[in-house]
Amino acid sequence: MNTSVLSSLGMVLLNVALALLLSPLVEGILRKLKAAIHSRQGPPIWQPYLDLLKLLGKEDLRTSADPFYRAAPALGLASVLLLATLVPMGSAPPLGFAGDIVVLIYVAAMSAVILILVAYGSGSPYAFVGGSREMMVLLTVEPVVAVTLLVGAMKAGTLATGQILAWHAGNGPTISMILAGIALFLAVQAQAGKLPFDIPEADQEIMGGPLVEQSGPRLALLRWTLWAKQLVFAFLLVEIFVPWPRTGWVLPDLLLALVKVMVVLVLVALVDVVNPRLRVEQAMGYYFRVAISSLAALAFAVIGM
Amino acid sequence: MENPTATKPSMLPVVEMATRLMEKNLGSGLWDAQVREPDVLWFRIDRQMLRTATVVLLKELKARFLISAGTDLRAQEKGYGILHLFSLDREGVFLALDCLVPEWEERIDSITPLIPGADWSERECRDAVGVEARGHPDPRRLILPDDWPEGAFPLRRDFPYNERPPAAEGVRPAPKEHPEGTTVIPIGPFFPSLEEPSNWRIFLEGETVKGCDYRGFYNHRGIEKLGDSVLTWDRIPYVAERICGICGFIHSTCYCQAAEKAAGLQPPRRAEFIRTLMLELERIHSHLLWLGIAGHIVGFDTVLMQTWRIREPVMWLSEEISGNRKTYGMNAVGGVRRDIRPEQMPKIQDVVRKVEEEVLALKKAIVGDTTLLARTRGVGILTEQWAKEICVVGPPARASGVPIDARLDHPYAAYDAVPPTLCTQEEGDTWARVLVRVDEVVDATRIIRECLDQMPAGPVMSVMEGEFPDGRVGVSVVEAPRGEAIHFVMTGGLNRPYRWRVRAPTYPNLQAMPAMIQDQQLADVPIILGSLDPCFSCTERMEAVDRRTGARRVYSWEELETMARRAAEERGAPS
Annotate B347-410 with three-state secondary structure.
Answer: HHHHHHHHHHHHHHHHHHHHHCCHHHHHHHCCCCCCCHHHHHHCCCCHHHHHHCCCCCCHHHHC
Annotate B93-120 with three-state secondary structure.
EEEEEEEEEECCCCEEECCCCCCHHHHH
Would you say residue B553 lies in a domain? no
Contacts of A210 (CB under 8 A, 6+ apart): A115, A116, A118, A119, A122, A127, A130, A131, A134, A200, A201, A222
% of chain A residues with pLDDT over 90: 73
Q: Which residues of B touch A279 (CB under 8 A)?
A: 374-375, 521, 523-524
Task: Single out the residue in B125, B144, B167 at which a domain terminates.
Answer: B167
| Smallest Cα distance from A46 to chain B, Å | 22
Question: In the predicted model, what is the mean pLDDT of residues A288-292?
Answer: 92
Statement: residue A285 has pLDDT above 70: yes
Question: In the predicted model, what is the mean pLDDT of residues B149-158?
Answer: 92
A274/B369 touch (CB, cutoff 8 Å), yes or no: yes
Query: Residues B169-186: pLDDT tens digits?
Result: 888 888 888 888 888 888
Question: In the predicted model, what is the mean pLDDT of residues B255-281?
Answer: 95
Residue B544 pLDDT grade (very low, low, confident, very high; cuts 50, 70, 90): very low
A39/B523 touch (CB, cutoff 8 Å), yes or no: no
User: Which A positions 169-228 lie with beta carbon below 8 A of chain B?
Assistant: 195-196, 198-199, 202-207
pLDDT at position B564 is 61
B183, B186, B300 member nearest A276 (Cβ): B300
Which range (B255-259, B445-449, B567-571) has the least confidence? B567-571
In single-letter form, the type of residue at position A253 comes to D
A38/B306 touch (CB, cutoff 8 Å), yes or no: yes
Q: Which residues of B touch A195 (CB under 8 A)?
A: 299-300
Would you say residue B572 lies in a domain? no
Alpha carbon distance A205, B446 (integer Å)? 37
pLDDT at position B207 is 82
pLDDT at position B542 is 44
B183/A125 touch (CB, cutoff 8 Å), yes or no: yes
Report the chain B residue with the minimal C-alpha distance to residue A33.
B302
Would you say residue B549 lies in a domain? no
Would you say residue B173 lies in a domain? no
B300/A280 touch (CB, cutoff 8 Å), yes or no: no
Q: Are residues B421 and B279 in the same domain?
A: yes
pLDDT at position B567 is 64
The residue ranking higher by pLDDT, B10 or B532, is B532
Alpha carbon distance B237, B231 (integer Å)? 10
Cα atoms found within 13 Å of the Cα of residue A44, Cβ hemisphere only: 5
Are B85 and B95 contacting, i.e. CB atoms less than 8 angstroms apart? yes
Alpha carbon distance B348, B451 (integer Å)? 11
For chain A, what is the radius of gyration of the CA atoms? 19
Statement: residue B124 has pLDDT above 90: yes
Statement: residue B575 has pLDDT above 80: no
pLDDT at position B574 is 43
Alpha carbon distance B345, B353 (integer Å)? 12
Are A223 and A51 contacting, i.e. CB atoms less than 8 angstroms apart? yes
B296/A39 touch (CB, cutoff 8 Å), yes or no: no
B309/A39 touch (CB, cutoff 8 Å), yes or no: yes
Which range (B53-67, B309-323, B474-488, B547-561) has the least confidence? B547-561
**Other beta carbons less than 10 A from residue B509's beta carbon:** 28
Burial class of residue A172 (count of CB atoms within 10 Å of its CB; 0-12, 13-18, 19+)? exposed
Alpha carbon distance B364, B457 (integer Å)? 39
Are A199 and A133 contacting, i.e. CB atoms less than 8 angstroms apart? yes
Residues in chain A: 305
Residue B554 pLDDT grade (very low, low, confident, very high; cuts 50, 70, 90): very low
Query: Residues B365-375: pLDDT tens digits?
Result: 888 888 889 99
Question: In the predicted model, what is the mean pLDDT of residues B216-244?
Answer: 89
Alpha carbon distance B242, B245 (integer Å)? 6
Would you say residue B574 lies in a domain? no
pLDDT at position A4 is 80
Residue B548 pLDDT grade (very low, low, confident, very high; cuts 50, 70, 90): very low
Alpha carbon distance B382, B401 (integer Å)? 10
B184, B305, B375 member nearest A39 (Cβ): B305
Which of B191, B298, B307, B519 has the highest number of chain A CBs within 10 A, making it the mutation to test binding with A? B298
Q: What region does B220 belong to: left with phi over 0, alpha with psi -120 to 50, or beta?
A: beta
Task: Single out the residue in B133, B167, B201 at which a domain terminates.
Answer: B167
B185, B305, B525 member nearest A38 (Cβ): B305
% of chain B residues with pLDDT over 90: 68
Statement: residue B85 has pLDDT above 60: yes
Q: Which residues of A touch B299 (CB under 8 A)?
A: 195-196, 198, 202-204, 275-277
Q: Which residues of B touch A199 (CB under 8 A)?
A: 523
Q: Are residues B23 and B90 in the same domain?
A: yes
% of chain A residues with pLDDT over 70: 100
CA A190 to chain centre: 9
**Other beta carbons less than 10 A from residue A176's beta carbon:** 24
Q: What region does B530 belong to: left with phi over 0, alpha with psi -120 to 50, or beta?
A: alpha
B369, B371, B526 member nearest A205 (Cβ): B526
Report the chain A residue with the minimal C-alpha distance to residue B193.
A204
Domain count, chain A: 1
A276/B192 touch (CB, cutoff 8 Å), yes or no: no
The sign of the dihedral angle between the CA atoms of B565, B568, B569, B573 is: negative
Are A144 and A291 contacting, i.e. CB atoms less than 8 angstroms apart? yes
pLDDT at position B558 is 61
Integer angstrom CA distances of residue B17 from B60, B63, B182, B241: 10, 13, 51, 38
Q: Are residues B280 and B422 in the same domain?
A: yes
Q: Are residues B424 and B519 in the same domain?
A: yes
Q: Are residues B252 and B376 in the same domain?
A: yes
% of chain B residues with pLDDT over 70: 92
CATH number of domain containing B246 = 1.10.645.10
A126/B185 touch (CB, cutoff 8 Å), yes or no: yes
Query: Residues A219-245: pLDDT tens digits?
Result: 999 999 999 999 999 999 999 999 988
Alpha carbon distance B215, B478 (integer Å)? 27
Report the chain A residue with the minimal C-alpha distance to residue B372.
A276
B186, B207, B371 member nearest A276 (Cβ): B371
Are A124 and A212 contacting, i.e. CB atoms less than 8 angstroms apart? yes
Residue B563 pLDDT grade (very low, low, confident, very high; cuts 50, 70, 90): low
pLDDT at position A176 is 93
Q: What region does B483 belong to: left with phi over 0, alpha with psi -120 to 50, or beta?
A: left
A37, A38, A279 member nearest B524 (Cβ): A279
Query: Residues A194-218: pLDDT tens digits?
Result: 888 988 888 888 888 899 999 999 9
Alpha carbon distance B212, B203 (integer Å)? 6
Would you say residue B133 lies in a domain? yes
H/E stretch holding B498: strand B497-503
Residue B545 pLDDT grade (very low, low, confident, very high; cuts 50, 70, 90): very low
pLDDT at position B222 is 85
Are B443 and B424 contacting, i.e. CB atoms less than 8 angstroms apart? no
Are B297 and B526 contacting, i.e. CB atoms less than 8 angstroms apart? yes
pLDDT at position B557 is 55
pLDDT at position B181 is 87
A38/B297 touch (CB, cutoff 8 Å), yes or no: no
Residue A97 pLDDT grade (very low, low, confident, very high; cuts 50, 70, 90): confident
Task: Single out the residue in B150, B167, B184 at which a domain terminates.
Answer: B167
Question: In the predicted model, what is the mean pLDDT of residues A122-131?
Answer: 88
A204/B306 touch (CB, cutoff 8 Å), yes or no: no
Q: Are residues B254 and B378 in the same domain?
A: yes
Q: Are residues B284 and B411 in the same domain?
A: yes
Would you say residue B566 lies in a domain? no
Reference B531, options B394, B421, B423, B439; nearest CA is B394
Are B330 and B337 contacting, i.e. CB atoms less than 8 angstroms apart? yes
Q: Are residues B157 and B233 in the same domain?
A: no
Put simply, whether the predicted model's pTM sits higher than 0.80 gets the answer yes
Q: Are residues B280 and B417 in the same domain?
A: yes
Query: Residues B429-440: pLDDT tens digits?
Result: 999 999 999 999
pLDDT at position B552 is 37
| Smallest Cα distance from A21 to chain B, Å | 28
Average pLDDT, chain B: 89
Would you say residue B557 lies in a domain? no
Which of A204, A272, A278, A282 has the highest number of chain B CBs within 10 A, making it the mutation to test binding with B? A204
Which range (B189-198, B312-321, B510-519) has the least confidence? B189-198
A37, A207, A278 member nearest B302 (Cβ): A37
Reference B461, options B234, B322, B266; nearest CA is B266
| Smallest Cα distance from B90 to chain A, Å | 40
pLDDT at position A91 is 84
The whole domain housing B433 covers 223-455+466-539
Question: In the predicted model, what is the mean pLDDT of residues B312-335?
Answer: 93
Domain count, chain B: 2
Q: Are residues B360 and B427 in the same domain?
A: yes
Residue A164 pLDDT grade (very low, low, confident, very high; cuts 50, 70, 90): very high
pLDDT at position A161 is 92
pLDDT at position B523 is 86
Residues in chain B: 575
B192/A207 touch (CB, cutoff 8 Å), yes or no: yes
Q: Which residues of B touch A196 (CB under 8 A)?
A: 299, 371
The whole domain housing A288 covers 2-302
pLDDT at position B553 is 44
Alpha carbon distance B326, B323 (integer Å)? 9
Question: In the predicted model, what is the mean pLDDT of residues B127-141?
Answer: 93
ipTM: 0.86
Question: In the predicted model, what is the mean pLDDT of residues B355-359?
Answer: 96
Are A36 and A108 contacting, i.e. CB atoms less than 8 angstroms apart? no
In single-letter form, the type of residue at position B356 comes to E
Task: Count how many pairs of residues, chain A against chain B, have C-beta atoms within 8 Å.
Answer: 79
B371/A198 touch (CB, cutoff 8 Å), yes or no: no
pLDDT at position B190 is 82
